[in-house]
Homo-oligomer: A and B are copies of this chain.
Amino acid sequence: MPAQAIAVDVGGTEMKAALVAVGPDRAEPLRWLRRPTPRGEDTARLVVDAVAGLVAELRVDAQVDAAGVVVPGAVDEARGIGVYSANLGWSDAPLRDMLAERIDLPVSLGHDVRAGGLAEARLGAARGMRDVVVLPIGTGIAAALLFDGQLYAGGGFAGEIGHVDIGHGEPCGCGRTGCVEALASSAAVARRYLARTGAERTSAEVAAAVRAGDPDAQAVWAEAVDALAKGLLVLVTVAAPECIVLGGGFAQAGALLTEPLRERLDAMLAAYHRRPHLELAELGDTAGCLGAALLATEGLRTK
């Protein structure tokens, strides 16, 4: 019989919550709730209150074993602390203890991107594989890493592949130069297309223009693919994943991204590199919540 968990993914604008049935290789959401993320003087306290409300609502008429809550920013899962979130305005917030005071269930605290990566690795595009990198590409790029089937957080710092210097010399928002995400992110593609043409386009619109044969769009896209391939090569060289999963808004471009990327990466691999599968994420914006449910029930198994 599967465990049942309540999972909450706290985003910058919206909280997604679900009652999830979790088995060894599956996680099935039974019902969903969505609410705006509260803001105020003490956002940590307001978020904890709101999460407790969602859990109480989803718990009605259900047998629930555990709760999992994932949040953005820097998170120390081992200590249960929201280390920092620019967006939600907390620093060193003891979220797990705050949640445990309000929720009469075992509570796990996780990081939204790593939890989403865990879900893609167990249930989504990389299921069945043990050494996995999941790379959501949006405004920036940071990877979730799974080694031997286990999430690795590196104290919350691991996987900052967006800030590896690949030598292109362009400035990055982080204050350094040459970073992967200065060329290869939704924000970078939009910004570079604007700089080149004077036209404001989203990265999805730039992708459409690539398909329509716009040479400026094609040039910006080719630079993004090249930068991303060099970033993936660094991941392959250091971490040797079996599978790299691309997600986030930028990966909506689908084969327009993966086909040239696979070709470019393959051309750079040497005999000392493990050759990874390259896949598109499958779970979309439910990944974080499903990952929270997995974290909640893994917590049970280790107790």
Measured CB to CB, the residues of A under 8 A from B are 131, 143, 147-148, 150, 152, 154-155, 157-161, 163-167, 174-176, 178, 230, 233-235, 237-242, 270, 272-274
Contact = CB atoms under 8 A, between A and B. Distances in A.
B131 A238 contact: no
Nearest to A140: B272
Given A152-B148, A174-B272, A160 B238 contact: yes
A154 B235 contact: no
Stoichiometry, copies per complex: 2
Contacts of A235: 238
* Chain A interface, >50% SS class: loop
Contacts of A164: 234, 237-238
Contact of A239 (B239, B242, B270): B239
A278 B217 CA distance: 44
Contacts of A157: 240, 272-274
B158 A239 contact: yes
A240 B147 CA distance: 14
25 contacts: A131-B155, A143-B238, A147-B150, A147-B152, A147-B154, A154-B240, A155-B240, A155-B274, A157-B272, A157-B274, A158-B240, A158-B274, A160-B240, A161-B238, A163-B270, A164-B237, A165-B167, A166-B167, A176-B270, A234-B234, A234-B238, A235-B238, A238-B238, A238-B239, A239-B239
A98 B175 CA distance: 55
A164 B240 CA distance: 13
A160 B158 CA distance: 17
Contacts of A240: 154-155, 157-160
A161 B234 CA distance: 9
A155 B158 CA distance: 20
A285 to B, nearest CB: 24
Given A147-B152, A165-B167, A167-B165, A158 B238 contact: yes
Nearest to A159: B238
A270 B147 CA distance: 25
Nearest to A174: B270
Contacts of A166: 165, 167
Contacts of A167: 165-167, 178
